Amino acid sequence: MKFNNGFFCSFVLPSFLVLGFFQESVHGRPLLMSPARPRPDNAAAFARWLVSQSSWGVLNTISSDWGGAPFGNVVSFSDGLPDKGKGIPYFYLTALDPTASNALKDQRSSFTISEYNLGTCGKKDPENPTCAKITLVGKLKLLEGTSKEAEFAQTALFTKHPEMKGWPKSHNFQVFKLEIENIFMINWFGGPKPLTVEQYLHAKMDKQTLIADATA
Amino acid sequence: MKFNNGFFCSFVLPSFLVLGFFQESVHGRPLLMSPARPRPDNAAAFARWLVSQSSWGVLNTISSDWGGAPFGNVVSFSDGLPDKGKGIPYFYLTALDPTASNALKDQRSSFTISEYNLGTCGKKDPENPTCAKITLVGKLKLLEGTSKEAEFAQTALFTKHPEMKGWPKSHNFQVFKLEIENIFMINWFGGPKPLTVEQYLHAKMDKQTLIADATA
């Protein structure tokens, strides 16, 4: 990527990165409640945290109705059970909606999330590079209704978005996944973080790694 | 559009639509503080309210680097001075960033906003049709730096996003606008609201209209 945004190069690790991690303590021993914001320079863990903690984003497809324009649409998603995300975003879409309809004709897609939604950006501007944003670029694919992955995805979606269970059967909602091919993430000064799909999908998200990360 | 989402057809006008409008009263006379959420069936005013009250969204372009994929990017924007928006979104972008770089090669674009950001969706799911979303589809164009419109846009941007004044001159940030050609908005059950660009740009946003709207 050509983006090389090196402005404001001071680096102060805010104390909330450390303090926010331990949400309770028992007899002085920290008790991990839920994954806290990883260090920005741990790109893979940070990206997985941002995706896992978010509940919605903008899903982009190529519009067959509007001359091939890139068409963004607000959608809910899940990448797993709460705090147990696997990094792959799943969606519950109907072909009555242009996003699913577009994807069935042209799978090229991207999915964009802002940290601003999580309330962890304080008073920063939403475009401030330290208020993170991620775009996962890839192919939006319909899952086989009877597959193990579709079953996992539907459980993940319905757990995070209980309303989905009541969406009308007549609309034939189906599970889609974004098969990720490239990752664009900015979470600090200096431009997009180098991050491969392999690194992202296999990020260490266990408690020990994250505690070490938060206290480093 | 093919989207025809008619689920949950009950219609109960929540009282907060009316009550929320009058943020203070003086001797029983309502005092208008800032534009409140218009009625969902006043599509033009609703769309203008949503755009005007929002500070960021996802700007989508065609990625020249990633095989023509639709590329969404989190950006700040403004459509005018606070509570005086004109409906046209302006952006402050650098060609070091892929979004501006893409647009300079292919102007096809869209800009997507969720009402969820405004905190007026209560406990609804972000994809609940009554939690509004809008996508403005059109062409992303660089403004002439010396034009009256660029001057208006820069004032609008810097007022809403004071941080922008300090963005590094070496990055050559420039003002872009989305020239709107089509509008996709869902703010209630029953699918996207029919809304032309003409209706949107000329929506009556004066206090009298909005008071009548809120108390209807």
B12 at interface of A, judged by CB pairs closer than 8 A: no
The order of strands in the sheet holding B70-76 is B70-76, B56-62, B108-114, B133-142, B174-186, B90-93
Q: Across the interface, which of B5, B72, B138 has its CB nearest the CB of A60?
A: B72
Is pLDDT of A5 > 50? Answer: no
Question: For A33-203, which CATH superfamily applies?
Answer: Electron Transport, Fmn-binding Protein; Chain A (2.30.110.10)
Beta bridge partners of B142: B176
Which residues of chain A make contact with B101, given a CB cutoff of 8 A? 2
- Residues B198 and A68: their CA atoms lie apart, in Å, by 22
pLDDT digits (tens, 9 = 90+) for A149-160: 999 999 999 999
What residues have CB less than 8 Å from A138, skipping those under 6 apart?
Answer: A109, A110, A178, A179, A180, A181, A182, B69
pLDDT at B3: 42
Q: What are the sequence ranges of the domains in chain B? A: 57-210
- Residues A118 and A124: their CA atoms lie apart, in Å, by 13
Average the pLDDT over A118-144 and give the result.
96
Provide φ and ψ at B208, rounded to 5°: -60, -45
The fold adopted by the segment(s) B57-210 is: Pnp Oxidase; Chain A (2.30.110)
Query: What is the identity of the amino acid at A113?
Result: I
Provide φ and ψ at B63, rounded to 5°: -80, 115
Determine contact, residues A129/B163, Cβ cutoff 8 Å: no
Going from the C-alpha of B124 to that of each of A47, A168, B84, the distances in angstroms are: 26, 17, 28
Average the pLDDT over A201-213 and give the result.
76
Q: Tell me if B76 and A126 make a contact (CB, 8 A cut-off).
A: yes
- Residues B90 and B156: their CA atoms lie apart, in Å, by 8
- Residues A113 and A105: their CA atoms lie apart, in Å, by 24
Confidence of residue B83 (pLDDT cuts 50, 70, 90): confident
Report the run of H or E that residue B191 belongs to, with start and end: none
Q: Tell me if B75 and A127 make a contact (CB, 8 A cut-off).
A: yes
Q: Which residue has the higher pLDDT, A20 or B142?
A: B142
Report the run of H or E that residue B51 belongs to, with start and end: helix B43-53
Q: Tell me if B56 and A133 make a contact (CB, 8 A cut-off).
A: no
Is pLDDT of A26 > 80? Answer: no
Tell me the residues of chain B between 155 and 184 that have a Cβ less than 8 Å away from chain A.
161, 163-164, 167-168, 171, 181-182, 184
Determine contact, residues A195/A45, Cβ cutoff 8 Å: no
Confidence of residue A20 (pLDDT cuts 50, 70, 90): very low
Tell me the residues of chain A between 87 and 106 that have a Cβ less than 8 Å away from chain B.
94, 96-98, 101
How far off is chain B from A95, nearest CA to CA, in Å?
A: 8
Is pLDDT of B55 > 70? Answer: yes
Lowest mean pLDDT among A59-68, B140-149, B162-171, B202-211: B202-211
- Residues A6 and A191: their CA atoms lie apart, in Å, by 6
What is the full DSSP assignment across A124-138?
S-TTSTTS-EEEEEE
pLDDT digits (tens, 9 = 90+) for A80-124: 998 899 999 999 999 999 999 999 999 999 999 999 999 999 999
Q: Tell me if A58 and B60 make a contact (CB, 8 A cut-off).
A: yes
Going from the C-alpha of B206 to that of each of A22, B30, B48, B132, the distances in angstroms are: 50, 15, 12, 22
ipTM for the whole complex: 0.85
Is pLDDT of A37 > 80? Answer: yes
What residues have CB less than 8 Å from B109, skipping those under 6 apart?
Answer: A69, A70, B59, B60, B61, B103, B137, B138, B139, B140, B178
pLDDT at A31: 40
- Residues A48 and A66: their CA atoms lie apart, in Å, by 33
Q: Across the interface, which of B2, B98, B182 has its CB nearest the CB of A1?
A: B98
Helical spans, DSSP H, in chain A? 15-19, 43-53, 98-105, 148-160, 197-201, 207-215
Q: Which residue has the higher pLDDT, B28 or A40?
A: A40
pLDDT at A205: 85
pLDDT digits (tens, 9 = 90+) for A166-190: 999 999 999 999 999 999 999 999 9
pLDDT digits (tens, 9 = 90+) for B165-211: 999 999 999 999 999 999 999 999 999 999 999 999 999 887 766 66
